[in-house]
Amino acid sequence: MKKILIILILIPVFAFAQTTEELDFVAPLNDGIAAVKKDNKWGFINNKGTIIIPFRGDLVLTETDSYNYPIFKNNRCLISENRKGIEYFGYIDKTGKTIIETKFLNASNFNNNHALVLELTTKIVGENEILKKRMVYYKYFEVVINTQGDIKDYLSDPINVVLDKKFLKKPPRITSKFVSNTLVATLNKNKKWIIKSINL
């Protein structure tokens, strides 16, 4: 009887010890899961406290309630990848799988299954035969995408960009914002807002 009593007393202690982990930050639940920080990396736990996305260094932080931490919206979380000094953005799902590749010059969190991103395009204008290099122009558009990464609408004219870390030290700013499920406001060159109905 003593052995059974000791086992019953120790089981809750061991069970509690197995779920405890030292974390630097724990965010509130958002979209059913919560961001957690450990050693400058972020991961996600579910509503039972189980880590469902292991700690990683590519999650993009969002300012929420005076704190910065990664969040999921519409089952998507922003990630970024630095290539040759330029930051590119994409999205993962709740398994940690990359659903939309890191190809945008900037990107927003999803809102009602759509996000605002800067879609990069490349135009080959010739080739330098001496240096054996292609001559290209880079442009980007502000666009609306769905949760699969398909472009649903264009919000801006093309904007020229130099893909060099000397000239592009931080991501270009997204100048549009959602007003409703079908309306977007875009800031023009005159610093005035243009309202556009989007095709979803």
Ordered by start, the domain boundaries in the chain are 74-174
Q: What does the pLDDT read at residue 132? A: 64
Is the pLDDT at 193 greater than 60, yes or no?
yes
Is the pLDDT at 12 greater than 60, yes or no?
no
Q: How confident is the model at residue 166 (pLDDT cuts 50, 70, 90)?
A: confident
Is the pLDDT at 188 greater than 90, yes or no?
no
Rounded-to-integer distance, Cα 177 and Cα 25, Å: 29
* Mean pLDDT of the region 1-25: 50
Is the pLDDT at 4 greater than 60, yes or no?
no
Which residues neighbour 139 within 8 Å (Cβ) at sequence distance 6 or greater?
120, 121, 123, 158, 159, 160, 161
29-80 confidence digits (pLDDT tens): 988 999 999 999 999 999 999 999 999 999 999 998 789 999 999 999 999 9
pTM of the model: 0.84
Task: List the single range of 49-58, 60-69, 127-136, 183-192 with lowest mean pLDDT.
Answer: 127-136
What average pLDDT does the structure give for the chain? 86
Q: Are 142 and 152 in contact (CB under 8 A)?
A: no
Q: What does the pLDDT read at residue 153? A: 93
Q: What does the pLDDT read at residue 6? A: 38
